[in-house]
A and B are shown apart, each in its own frame.
Chain A
Amino acid sequence: MVKITSPAFKRNAARALGDAGLQKALGKAKGAFLQRRAEAVARLPEFEALRDVGRDIKNHTLANLDVYLETYAANVERAGGTVHWCSTAEEARAAVLEICRRAGARTVTKGKSMISEEIALNDHLERHGIAPVETDLGEYIIQLRGEHPSHIIAPAFHLNREDWEADFRRMHTDLPADRVFHERRDILAEARTKLRERFLAADVGITGANFLIAETGSSVIVTNEGNGDLTQTLPRVHIALASIEKVVPTLEDTCTLLRLLARSATGQDFSVYTTFSTGARRPGDLDGPEEYHVVLIDNGRSNMIGTEFQEMLRCIRCAACMNHCPVYGVTGGHAYGWVYPGPMGSVLTPSLVGVDKAGHLPNASTFCGKCESVCPVKIPLPKMMRHWREREFERHLTPAAARRNLGLWAWFAKRPGMYRLATRAAVGALRLLGRGRGAFRSLPLAGGWTAGRDLPVPEGGTFMARYAKMQRGR
């Protein structure tokens, strides 16, 4: 499994805030995603209605997940493919390695896949003498740098152009050292040339899957570069990695979710390549793989069904939640310490690796609710982060000081008179202290809290005082 640094989220976040290169990259990238999504949504009047339909399709599928998985697997096999059911990451790694070994593979090309990160497939293949080559442009540089993706659809979100140029010079030593990258497209062209050789030499191609379709036994990938298609078309063997919640019933269900996916992710009306793969090469076909395998991975997801976290399995991995998250926007993805960053990661990571390790993540939220408001399948992310906080508290994982303060707050909250008195006093004191300032950078006795946050100086009175005034004014 990928090393988990989620327990060190606070330290990771502090480091991220002080990382000038990261802050520059985040500053550049953030606005673009938001604007493009907003424009794409504005172009489609039905978008809001489609979110409800998308949610309902996923809910229906999850309520019948066993049936749809069985139907899907039967249809893959009818089309000459093989489904490898894997409960754990270990089983999935072993299944992939076994297929590669039987194919006599020395190199495998890879399309972008987060489940591959989750099961730490590359390390495993390398340890067994097989060279995995990431072919998505962002994944390619991440692999050159020995890093992990910092974003689920834009793996190199944390890098600047200078980083690309420096890494390409460092790694592509057969090219003239004094070559000039005039434009971003020169960087792209170099990667294209380098990877072309790899595509043609690979023995096995490994992709992820955005959807699995029960009706047809198809796996679907969505890309803009075309790397996924070269990966799954040219080698003799294609392996699709997919987690169990990727299944949807029909092509029509898939069409609806596709209308939501690209708009929510990159703000495109549709991605450049949306490809449905069903089994291996047919009689008479002139190209395509001769073997088609699906490695179907649970890795903790079935345990989420029937719990308050079941709705998380609706996620279609568009990344809108992290693109719109004020916390992700300043810490970047690596601070979250595992595979999935941002709000969806703050809910999913504790489910998959344990709240004891990932408890900081659901706490790293302002509960502004933006993530839920842009989620294409309406996952109530803030509510589920709150559930995790409750579980953390029940299991006594919350630090003693926080528990004490929560206890203190609860004492007041149960005594409205005292609560009003105390908040009035606090607001008054803070206003006095904060005169002429917009926000506190630090506060006595709250150093732990203000170390990573600013507290706005209160404007006007307490909520109750203002509410009462408003009522009187009616």
Chain B
Amino acid sequence: MSRQAILSAIRRGLKRGPLPADQRAMIEGRLATHPRHLIPARSRLPRPGQVALFIRNVEKEFGTVARVAAAQDIPAAIADYLAAQNLPSRFALAPHPELTGLPWSSRPMLEFEARRAEATDAVAVQHGFAGIAETGTLMLPSDPARPTTLNILADTGIVVLRASRIVGAYEDAWDWLRAERTDPLTGGFVPRNVMFVTGPSRSADIEQTLELGAHGPRRLHIILLDDDPAALPAA
């Protein structure tokens, strides 16, 4: 009832009835082609520059990045980071095959469970879907292998990201999701939740002065796997 009232009031204001078929087709065309608008030039760079921009922007937003040359180095990189920060070596791990399949036995001190995060977890390790160089932003779509709680519940968030998954602009990351994902419920590409994360949690609500560590992670650490030869910095 209210639905009809609201739609009628809008049409009254627009001085028309339901949109004529030809104009409606135009709208549907725009939705189907979802055209891009002006995209800032700052991220249109050769691959090494794009990865460097991503890292620079993560660090500008108070995140940290460690680059590793091979997947088998990831457990060591996590262990080293946790030790350096004086953090416990227990964590919740995203149940993603790229993570659960790592050679964890190389670091027997690390204890983890592959699951969603719980309130008692101090550290969570997430799988990064894409990195966006434009602002140093991670794209983390929800999935059985990538639970949302791993993004926000623990005090320390670690995200493993492949360098080949770094793009320039937000739109590029959406294009990948459009191409790669099929939702089990809708058949479309959008999962229940997509988070764009840029640095650790913060607030400026007290006297408009920035403080890190509000409700989400106080630390955000990215382990960047250099799997893209074209993206390596010039020697």
A residues lining the B interface (CB < 8 Å) = 25, 28-29, 32-33, 44-46, 49-50, 53, 57, 63-71, 73, 78-80, 85-87, 91, 135-138, 141, 154-157, 159-161, 164, 184-185, 187-189, 192, 195-196, 199-200, 214-218, 224-227, 229-230, 233-234, 244, 249-253, 255-256, 258-259, 266, 269-288, 296, 298, 302-307, 310
CB distance from B32 to the nearest CB of A (A): 9
User: Using Cβ atoms and an 8 Å threshold, which residues of chain B touch A269?
Assistant: 57, 135, 198
CB distance from A389 to the nearest CB of B (A): 23
B residues lining the A interface (CB < 8 Å) = 2-3, 5-7, 9-15, 18-19, 23-24, 27, 30-31, 34-38, 40-42, 57, 61, 95, 115-117, 119, 134-135, 137, 142-144, 147-149, 151-153, 169-171, 174, 183-186, 188, 190-209, 211-217
> B31 and A249: CB pair below 8 A?
yes
> A288 and B153: CB pair below 8 A?
no
Q: Which of A65, A214, A272 has the most CB of B within 10 A?
A: A272
25 cross-chain CB contacts under 8 A: A53-B38, A66-B18, A67-B27, A71-B31, A135-B215, A137-B206, A141-B205, A154-B208, A155-B205, A196-B119, A224-B203, A225-B203, A229-B152, A230-B152, A250-B35, A251-B174, A252-B174, A270-B196, A272-B197, A273-B196, A275-B194, A283-B184, A283-B185, A288-B142, A288-B192
> B215 and A192: CB pair below 8 A?
yes
User: Using Cβ atoms and an 8 Å threshold, which residues of chain A touch B119?
Assistant: 196, 200
CB distance from A448 to the nearest CB of B (A): 34
User: Using Cβ atoms and an 8 Å threshold, which residues of chain A touch B195?
Assistant: 229, 273-276
CB distance from A52 to the nearest CB of B (A): 9
> B191 and A306: CB pair below 8 A?
no
CB distance from A175 to the nearest CB of B (A): 18
User: Using Cβ atoms and an 8 Å threshold, which residues of chain B touch A199?
Assistant: 215
Give 5 closest A-B pairs by Cβ, nearest first: A226-B216, A305-B13, A306-B13, A225-B214, A302-B9
CB distance from A248 to the nearest CB of B (A): 11
> B5 and A87: CB pair below 8 A?
yes
A25 to B207, CA, bound (A): 7
Taking CB as reference atom, which chain A residue is nearest B212?
A: A185
User: Using Cβ atoms and an 8 Å threshold, which residues of chain A touch B134?
Assistant: 270
User: Using Cβ atoms and an 8 Å threshold, which residues of chain A touch B135?
Assistant: 269-270
A251 to B200, CA, bound (A): 24
Chain B contact surface mostly: loop
> A274 and B10: CB pair below 8 A?
no
User: Using Cβ atoms and an 8 Å threshold, which residues of chain A touch B31?
Assistant: 71, 214-215, 249-250
A282 to B7, CA, bound (A): 31
> A252 and B36: CB pair below 8 A?
yes
> A230 and B7: CB pair below 8 A?
no
Q: Contacts A28-B207, A302-B13 given; 19 further ones with Cβ under 8 A?
A: A63-B14, A86-B2, A154-B208, A216-B188, A225-B215, A225-B216, A226-B214, A229-B148, A233-B152, A250-B31, A250-B34, A252-B34, A269-B57, A270-B134, A270-B137, A288-B192, A298-B9, A306-B15, A307-B13
Given A67-B27, A298-B9, are A280 and B37 neighbors across the interface (CB < 8 Å)? no
Taking CB as reference atom, which chain B residue is nearest A187?
A: B206
User: Using Cβ atoms and an 8 Å threshold, which residues of chain B touch A270?
Assistant: 134-135, 137, 196, 198
> A79 and B186: CB pair below 8 A?
yes
Taking CB as reference atom, which chain A residue is nearest B149?
A: A287
> B206 and A272: CB pair below 8 A?
no
A87 to B3, CA, bound (A): 8
> A255 and B170: CB pair below 8 A?
yes
> B2 and A85: CB pair below 8 A?
yes
